[in-house]
Amino acid sequence: MKNHNFFEKILLWRIKHISERNFVLILSVLIGVFSGIAAVLLKNLAHTTYVLVIKGFVFEKKILLNFVIPLTGIFLTVLFVRKLIKDDLGHGVSKVLHAISKKNGYIKPHNTFSSVVASSLTVGFGGSVGLEAPVVLTGSAIGSNLARLFRLNYKTVVLMIGCGSAGAIAGIFKAPIAGVVFTIEMLMIELTISTLIPLLISAVSGSLVAWLLMGSSVPFFYVIDTPFVLKDVFFYIFLGITSGLASFYFSRTVMNIEEKFSRVKNQYIRVIVGSLILGLLIYVFPSFYGEGYESLMDILRRQGESLINKSLFGDLAYNQWVFLVLLLLLIFLKAIATAVTTGAGGVGGTFAPSLFMGGVIGFFTGRLINTFFDIGISESNFSLVGMAGVMAGVMHAPLTAIFLIAEITGGYELFPPLIITATISYLTTKYFEPHSLYNKKLAEKGELITHNKDQAVLMLMKSDNLIETNFLAIKPTATLGDLVKLISKSSRNIFPVVDDDGTFMGIVILDHVREIIFKPELYEITPVNTLMFMPETTIEIGESMNDVAQKFYNSDKFNLVVLDQGKYVGFISRARVFSVYRRLLKDFSYD
């Protein structure tokens, strides 16, 4: 109790001495620092796990190593999540979007550390997923919980979630611009000066912490030594189309395989089956172990042949055409390796796998063009641009892909091909798949907040909270006289007709009976069921506000009845919807 009173005093002091705007800036620094620390901790924890696993166990047969280690990692992850956390960690970005859309920005406190531990176990033991989505959830959870601790309003909570996300991405890649762009593009944060400044502060804070603790290196730092030339533009257009088709394949494969795994009720069967498939894939292509950034660096160092030379098919790679076919096989299997990792119970994201797949596709495309035309284009540049292409398609975030690759290369020499390839890839993927992996399920349920402010505000509104129950009901067997008595007691002009078990039978509108309510001779001989009618439009309880708003628009009615499987619940009025909408719009919008 004393601690509670002390914190209340701190809150009061803050309100009296620090303005809301200045406090948001202070909080954005703290969130950026904590998110940057989380990113550094996650990378080091995963790397340490990897080193301990690889160096700490010695098997005489390599195949045993490849099967046992992924199984151990996913099994430990599942035990940690099921026995200690007792919650579904899922895809990190999807959890954040769901919290913003449906939970008023509330992210559970355990998410400030649980994804760090779980994803470190998964990736460190060979899971073919990335660490970026878990650290986004971690940073967002830090922002959410700090904002709620200081009892900030919804729009500020969402902004602090965005600050955590920006700080996390900036910290893990040391790319502050990419962190800000990712947050605006993926989390749908409204872009104004009031939001941009805190996001920039958090992103810079996160990247500075990462630079301080880990030095200036990034996962695949590369200095461009071959400039872009205009004659290659058509090849980059081709790469954009190829990346878009690959992104569509990757997204559909991951979603379909995860769906199949979810149908298996026994968690441990999922662990065994998924781990065995993953182990087999790693045995065939060792580059599938973990995030895959080392393989990407081999490509950028012009050592891309190692992708196949280190595989089970290394002896066959001497032929250039066989080498290209094996690269295609590697691209095809990468999506499966990622999907079985998460489907089996591993925790990780698709950020790194999409970069890996894009890098290999870019390398494949460059090698294919050089094989056909022998024009000496830079396969390293194509690999970098391919990363942006697949990332743009999988995440539906072309700006994030463009700025991330441009930022980590230390310059913007590849800006034109990055824009061309990422944009074409995004448009190609979107033609086949309107939503990304992160928001598809939310979009299908009509629960996805977007940059459309009207739709976003409607998403925040709950139809069940707008139900009015002060309408006086009457039975169908009642008479006009009973109705007149009810009218004298009511402040509304609509009267629901409900039978004994609560089933809705229709409504009586005062304007429709006004002429006969002053004729006492009709009171006892006119039953209510001859005066009622069934409205054409009704609302089912729990219906989304988008649907409710559309029904008001189409019906042109001022009140619509709400039913629960045919049972009367109440009414929703157009006036109440508009009133709540205006209030939420004010709360939702930034200055």
Model pLDDT for residues 275-325, shown as the tens digit of each residue: 999 999 998 898 899 888 888 888 888 888 888 888 888 777 778 888 999
| Whether residues 148 and 126 fall in one domain | yes
| Whether residues 530 and 562 fall in one domain | yes
The chain-wide mean pLDDT, for the chain, equals 85
| Whether residues 465 and 366 fall in one domain | no
* Integer Cα distance of 63 and 59 in angstroms: 9
- The 3-class secondary structure across 478-543, one letter per residue, is CEHHHHHHHHHHCCCCEEEEECCCCEEEEEEEHHHHCCCCCCHHHCCCCEHHHCCECCCCEEECCC
Q: Residue 268 falls within a domain, yes or no?
A: no
Find the mean pLDDT for residues 513-527. Answer: 84
Residue 61: pLDDT band with limits 50, 70, 90: very low
3-class DSSP assignment, residue 396: coil
* Integer Cα distance of 461 and 478 in angstroms: 37
Percent over 70 (pLDDT), the chain: 90
Percent over 90 (pLDDT), the chain: 36
Q: Record the tokens describing residue 437, joined without a space.
A: 């992996």
Model pTM score: 0.80
Q: What is the pLDDT of residue 62?
A: 57
Find the mean pLDDT for residues 226-255. Answer: 91
Nearby residues of 379 by Cβ (< 8 Å), 6 or more positions away:
299, 302, 304, 362, 363, 366, 367, 370
| Whether residues 40 and 182 fall in one domain | yes
What's the distance, CA 56 to chain centroid? 36
Q: Residue 126 falls within a domain, yes or no?
A: yes
Beta bridge partners of 349: 130
Pairing of the two strands 538-540 and 559-564: parallel
Domain boundary residue, one of 401, 429, 450: 450
Low-confidence winner among 8-22, 51-65, 114-128, 194-208 (lowest mean pLDDT): 51-65
Q: Residue 269 falls within a domain, yes or no?
A: no
Question: How many angstroms separate the Cα of 251 from the Cα of each of 155, 182, 293, 434?
Answer: 31, 19, 20, 11
| Whether residues 479 and 442 fall in one domain | no
**Residue 402, CA atoms < 13 Å, CB-side half-sphere:** 21
Backbone angles phi, psi at 117, to 5 degrees: -65, -50
Q: Exposure of 555 by Cβ count < 10 A (0-12 exposed, 13-18 middle, 19+ buried)? A: middle
pLDDT in tens, 332-372: 999 999 999 999 989 998 889 999 999 999 999 999 998 88
**Residue 427, CA atoms < 13 Å, CB-side half-sphere:** 10
Domain boundary residue, one of 423, 450, 477: 450
Q: Residue 482 falls within a domain, yes or no?
A: yes
| Whether residues 179 and 32 fall in one domain | yes
* Integer Cα distance of 62 and 284 in angstroms: 11
Residues 376-381: contacts with CB under 8 Å, at least 24 apart: 377/232, 377/235, 378/226, 379/299, 379/302, 379/304, 380/222, 380/226, 380/299, 380/300, 380/302, 381/224, 381/226, 381/228, 381/414, 381/417
DSSP per position, 3-31: HHHHHHHHHHHHHHHS-HHHHHHHHHHHH
Where is pLDDT greater, at 395 or 590? Answer: 395
| Whether residues 446 and 460 fall in one domain | no
Q: Record the tokens describing residue 195, joined without a space.
A: 């939001």
| Whether residues 185 and 331 fall in one domain | no
| Whether residues 380 and 363 fall in one domain | yes
Query: If we measure between CA atoms, which residue out of 492, 471, 484, 481 comes closest to residue 568?
Result: 471
Q: Residue 4 falls within a domain, yes or no?
A: no
Tracing tokens 């009509």 back to the chain, one arrives at 446
| Whether residues 421 and 471 fall in one domain | no
Tracing tokens 């779980």 back to the chain, one arrives at 118
Low-confidence winner among 119-123, 139-143, 319-323, 458-462 (lowest mean pLDDT): 458-462
Count: domains in the chain:
3
* Sign of the four-CA dihedral 388, 391, 394, 398: negative
Q: What is the pLDDT of residue 336?
A: 95
CATH of the domain at 566: 3.10.580.10
Estimate the crossing angle of helix 114-124 against helix 62-79, to 10 degrees: 170
pLDDT in tens, 126-151: 889 988 889 999 999 999 999 988 88
- Count how many residues are written for the chain: 591
Which helix or strand (DSSP H or E) is residue 278 part of?
Answer: helix 267-284
Query: If we measure between CA atoms, which residue out of 384, 204, 402 comes closest to residue 297?
Result: 384
Q: Residue 502 falls within a domain, yes or no?
A: yes
Range of the domain at 530: 456-588
Q: What is the pLDDT of residue 171?
A: 92
Where is pLDDT greater, at 93 or 141? Answer: 141
CATH of the domain at 360: 1.10.3080.10
Find the mean pLDDT for residues 471-485. Answer: 88
Q: Residue 276 falls within a domain, yes or no?
A: no
Residue 88: pLDDT band with limits 50, 70, 90: confident
Q: Could you give the residue ranges of the DSSP H alpha helices within 125-153? A: 132-149
Q: What is the pLDDT of residue 460?
A: 65
| Whether residues 442 and 533 fall in one domain | no
Q: Residue 435 falls within a domain, yes or no?
A: yes
* Integer Cα distance of 368 and 577 in angstroms: 59
Q: What is the pLDDT of residue 144?
A: 93
Q: Record the tokens describing residue 401, joined without a space.
A: 């892909």
Which helix or strand (DSSP H or E) is residue 562 part of?
Answer: strand 559-564
Q: Exposure of 493 by Cβ count < 10 A (0-12 exposed, 13-18 middle, 19+ buried)? A: middle
Q: Exposure of 518 by Cβ count < 10 A (0-12 exposed, 13-18 middle, 19+ buried)? A: exposed
| Whether residues 255 and 139 fall in one domain | no
